[in-house]
Amino acid sequence: MVLEDGRYFKGKSFGAQGEIIAEVVFNTGMAGYQEVLTDPSYCGQIVNMTYPLIGNYGVNEADMESKKIQVTGFIVRELCTWPSNFRSQGTLGDWLEKNNISGIQGIDTRALTRHIREAGSMNGVLTTNDESMAALQEKAKAAPHMAGQDLVGKVTCEQPCDYAAPKEKKYTVTLIDYGVKYNIMQELANRGCQVRVVPASMSAKDILADNPDGIMVSNGPGDPAAVTYAIETVRELIGKVPMFGICLGHQIMGLAYGGKTVKLKFGHRGVNHPVKELATGKISITSQNHGFCVEEKSLPQDVEVTHVNMNDMTLEGMRHKKHPVFSVQYHPEASPGPHDAAPLFDRFINMMEK
């Protein structure tokens, strides 16, 4: 694997053969690799796992967070070829090969992580082809960078559809799909919500025509500033019904308020990020996956910052002072990760009740 600044790592391939070019990022989770691989927010990225042993418990249908693998490539220190778990339905390597996803093992993943932390996330080439390091570096430098890319079109649903009906229907929620994870919809269904999933391109008028009790603005990949149609749609929806945004949805809400987003040096990806709620002082350990954030100083006066990241003090949550609208940068549905932030779904339910 060759980075665009010339740093390279040699290892052993697994999964599919060939060559891919994408942004290289790292995830610090010790488990949850299948959820990471199937999270649409990772579309267009090569993910490096910092925990050295990956694949130990295999893969299974129940841990999918979308209908397919979403990452472009996968990097691990040591791949387990003989998983041991009663839920396992196959090996990680076979699964990647079946789905035509390239991986590399046997490299110093922590050295790669330290390099990205110091130099920032950048493009890389992952290849089994025999080419010079200089040629591969030039390919990485010439490839499009994440900033300015709208990747939502690659992961959103094509037509409106209903998620599995709850046991007892209490509310109807329209979820705008920018690359939603299954467990977000499941958390809503567990609380009595009938979830209607709609494409990212659906207009505000058509969304409101269903007369939902609330609107969920989902997570997703890419640069939020590039998803201009989504920003306009969310701007038109603010104040109409209760709204809850997560991850990319949070960033799009910030842009819809009139704020700005910036690209972080290496992003937040993992399951152990401490976030402080300013109103209570409570600190939650959260699951995160993002490379952009809302710039706090850019927000208008009618938007209040509610949460901050305790590692770098970046904005992690906000709410509108006049309308029942709030959002968080992290993932309260976890999968993988701790469930500290799950009560945020209850907050959304309470808004719809009122």
Does residue 216 share a domain with residue 103? no
pLDDT value at residue 198: 98
The alpha-carbon radius of gyration of the chain (Å, integer) is 20
Domain assignment present for residue 147? The answer is no
Does residue 325 share a domain with residue 299? yes
pLDDT value at residue 143: 97
Does residue 131 share a domain with residue 156? no
CATH of the domain at 15: 3.50.30.20
Domain assignment present for residue 317? The answer is yes
Q: Tens digit of pLDDT for each residue in 280-292?
A: 999 999 999 999 9
Q: Pick from 122, 142, 162: which residue ends a domain?
A: 142
pTM of the predicted protein model: 0.96
Domain assignment present for residue 219? The answer is yes
Strand partners, 347: none
Does residue 303 share a domain with residue 211? yes
pLDDT value at residue 179: 98
Distances (CA, A) of 246 to 73, 181, 185, 212: 25, 11, 12, 18
List 23, 65, 187, 333, catalytic entry: 333
Would you call 333 a catalytic residue per the annotation?
Answer: yes
Does residue 87 share a domain with residue 172? no
pLDDT value at residue 70: 98
Does residue 126 share a domain with residue 7? yes
Q: The domain containing residue 129 runs over which residues? A: 2-142
Report, as ranges of residue numbers, the positions in the chain whose pLDDT lies below 50: none
Q: What angle do CA 249, 149, 45 make, to 5 degrees?
A: 85
Tally of structural domains, the chain: 2
Q: Tens digit of pLDDT for each residue in 212-270?
A: 999 999 999 999 999 999 999 999 999 999 999 999 999 999 999 999 999 999 999 99
Does residue 280 share a domain with residue 205? yes
Would you call 353 a catalytic residue per the annotation?
Answer: no
Distance CA 17, CA 113 (A): 24
Would you call 157 a catalytic residue per the annotation?
Answer: no
Does residue 190 share a domain with residue 126? no
Distance CA 178, CA 160 (A): 13
Q: Pick from 93, 113, 142: which residue ends a domain?
A: 142
Q: Are the C-beta atoms of residues 182 and 162 closer than 8 Å to each other? A: no
Q: Pick from 142, 161, 177: which residue ends a domain?
A: 142
DSSP for 122-180, please give it: EEEEEE-S---HHHHHHHHHHSPPSTT---GGGTS-SS-EEPPPPSS--EEEEEEESS-
Does residue 251 share a domain with residue 188? yes
pLDDT value at residue 192: 97
Around Cβ 148, how many Cβ atoms within 10 Å? 11
List 4, 35, 193, 247, catalytic entry: 247
pLDDT value at residue 200: 98
